[in-house]
Chains A and B, each alone.
Chain A
Amino acid sequence: MSLTFAISPFLIIAFGAMALMLSEAFAKRSNGLALGTTIVFAAAGAFAMAVWLYGLEDIEGLDTLTPWLVVDRFSLFFDVLLCLGGALAALLAGGYLPEHNLDRGEFYSLLLFSTFGAMMLAAAGDVLTLFIGLETMSIGAYALTAFRRASAKSAEGALKYFLLGSFAAALLLFGFALIYGATGHTDLVGIGAALKAGASKQPMVVIALVLILAGLAFKVSAVPFHMWTPDAYEGAPTPATTYMAVAVKSGAFAMMLRVLLTAFGDPSSMSWSAGWPPVLAWVAVLTMTVANLIAGRQESVKRMLAYSSIAHAGYILVAVVATMRSQTLAGASVLFYLLTYTVSTAGAFGALILCGRRGAEAVSYEDLSGIGRRHPAAALPFALFLVSLAGIPPTAGFFGKWFIFRAAMESGLTWLTIIAFINSVIGAYYYLRVLVYMYMREPAAGAPIAVPMRSGYVTAALLVSALLVLALGLSPTRSLDVAVQAASFGG
């Protein structure tokens, strides 16, 4: 099989994005763009699965590509995951944008271009391709955040995101430049080999590692680099928030795993005494604790979900730390968690979209009160996704957390596991609070009553996520096997 087949997911997204962009410019209408975008995402995901099933061993000439773009099971897994996140965001946009009078076709092309960058990020084998992928992903996300042009909140969130994001990208670039100075390599494998050969003793490498860790922590929105997240997530139109919370975050974690395990995978950098694990462990503790405490005090459900996504980044960081002892098991738990997190978060934001219509977007807890009795079809999926985010069986979120805790325990990080467990109990409080409002409260007299919108697109997105949440929660073994295969990439 030829090389074209191996990179077909990339080609489909790129050509699909350009075709949709031109069709929108010529037709001057945006009907059906959501469907077209979903089809492009589905096709790219299907081709990624086909490459996975075909096997990469028989594809000739793959090694000519490898120094820059690594097509392996890790990147194929992320291709499918990112296409799933993108498709869910596109479906939600198909219902949300017309309802809220934001129906402009650029949304879908930006979504596709940004996903292209995220896929490239997951496949990057060189810091140069990594940086191009990162910027392609981020610039699309900045524009999506600012999509509600007339809203000051949207502009504020986008500007904060853009300024801090550029700053983080600069830190990352500076770190890469120092690493290049210390090792003479820009490819991750070459950096890893040079560090293993003893270059990791240089002070320059330590400074580079700190800068790179700060840049990565920003991109996954870990505390104390999280300040932009609540504002950007709240200001952005909800489908764009969904996209940022699921796909951008997954792409950032793919980059983090690849950089840390391939470039900084030598025994010294990975040790508890002289490497990145203790730094990330403390970042994880801070992220989980701070995000959970603040999330419990939010009055806006959308903002609460933003803080919840920060907290989830903290849980995932626990597993990233655990990769220092067992790359395959802990790495697989990161990938599996990202999968469960993607379907639960996209579903929760989708249900929030469904609960509001033009001029009456459901934002606060009060808006949702009593909706469980009046509109059970909107409240039931919402409840399911929140239960999954809280990590209660038999949903996907339970096994996501279970595998992360198990990986952390087996790496000897008992204290970290205990903190993560306590935090997931705190987290349950604010998820269940939504349920209390939906099912046990009645709206105050004279308060505006949320009327769910009707949209086939949103319903389809909710159905797909609900099915996946239940399927992953009831039989996780098969997906975990896939994640294990994906996580065992060459160091």
Chain B
Amino acid sequence: MPNAQIAIYAPVFIMLAVATLVAVLFFVGASTLGKKNPTPEKMLPFECGSESSGGRHVKLSVKFYLTAILFVVFDIEAVFIYPWAIQFRSLGWFGLIEMFGFLAVVIVALVYVWKKGALEWES
């Protein structure tokens, strides 16, 4: 039933069309209707009111990346623990053992990164 299927999704398509229309209207309106009077001050990049300094390409230490990735691992762990905690009573012993198994795997990863020195900031 292709027609019926399309009918179900009609609101989505209408929403899509309206959103596109509004976005295009704003862009076209801003570039055609508004007055343009550029001054050097106006052309500066805006940085919370303070004057910007330095180039755009700042090299960040790879350490930040490593810390962020390790954070994601434990973030995901929390994501899994939370629904388990909500359903703790109905899952019972089976759920407890399963969760301990999951935690054990994550702890293996923690021990590994610890011993490898990935948690040391100065090195």
A26 within 8 A of B: yes
A204 touches B115 (CB 8 A): no
- Distance of A263 Cα from B115 Cα, bound (Å): 45
Please give, as numbers and ranges, the residues of chain A lying within 8 Å of B5 by CB-CB distance: 204
B79 within 8 A of A: no
Question: Which of A203-225 touch B at CB < 8 Å?
Answer: 203-204
Interface size class of A (residues with CB under 8 A): under 10
- Distance of A22 Cα from B105 Cα, bound (Å): 12
Mark each residue of chain A from 18 to 39: 1 if its CB lies under 8 Å from any CB of chain B, else 0.
1001100110000000000000
- Distance of A450 Cα from B54 Cα, bound (Å): 52
- Closest residue to A14 on the B side, CB-wise? B105
B108 touches A22 (CB 8 A): yes
Please give, as numbers and ranges, the residues of chain A lying within 8 Å of B116 by CB-CB distance: 25
- Distance of A26 Cα from B116 Cα, bound (Å): 8
Q: Main SS of chain B's interface residues?
A: helix
Q: Say how far B109's CB is from chain A's closest CB, in angstroms.
A: 9
Interface size class of B (residues with CB under 8 A): under 10
B2 within 8 A of A: yes
A203 touches B105 (CB 8 A): no
A25 touches B2 (CB 8 A): no
A21 touches B112 (CB 8 A): yes
Q: A18-B105, A25-B116 are in contact. Are A203 and B111 (CB under 8 A)?
A: no
B108 touches A26 (CB 8 A): no
Please give, as numbers and ranges, the residues of chain A lying within 8 Å of B111 by CB-CB distance: 22, 25
Mark each residue of chain B from 93 to 107: 1 if its CB lies under 8 Å from any CB of chain A, else 0.
000000000000100
Please give, as numbers and ranges, the residues of chain B lying within 8 Å of A202 by CB-CB distance: 2
Most buried by B among A18, A26, A203, A204: A18
Q: Say how far B116's CB is from chain A's closest CB, in angstroms.
A: 5
Question: Which of B10-41 touch A at CB < 8 Å?
Answer: none
A–B pairs, 16, beta carbons within 8 Å = A18-B105, A18-B108, A21-B108, A21-B112, A22-B108, A22-B111, A22-B112, A22-B115, A25-B111, A25-B112, A25-B115, A25-B116, A26-B115, A202-B2, A203-B2, A204-B5
Known A-B contacts: A22-B112, A204-B5. Give 9 more (CB < 8 A): A18-B105, A18-B108, A21-B108, A22-B108, A22-B115, A25-B111, A25-B112, A25-B116, A202-B2
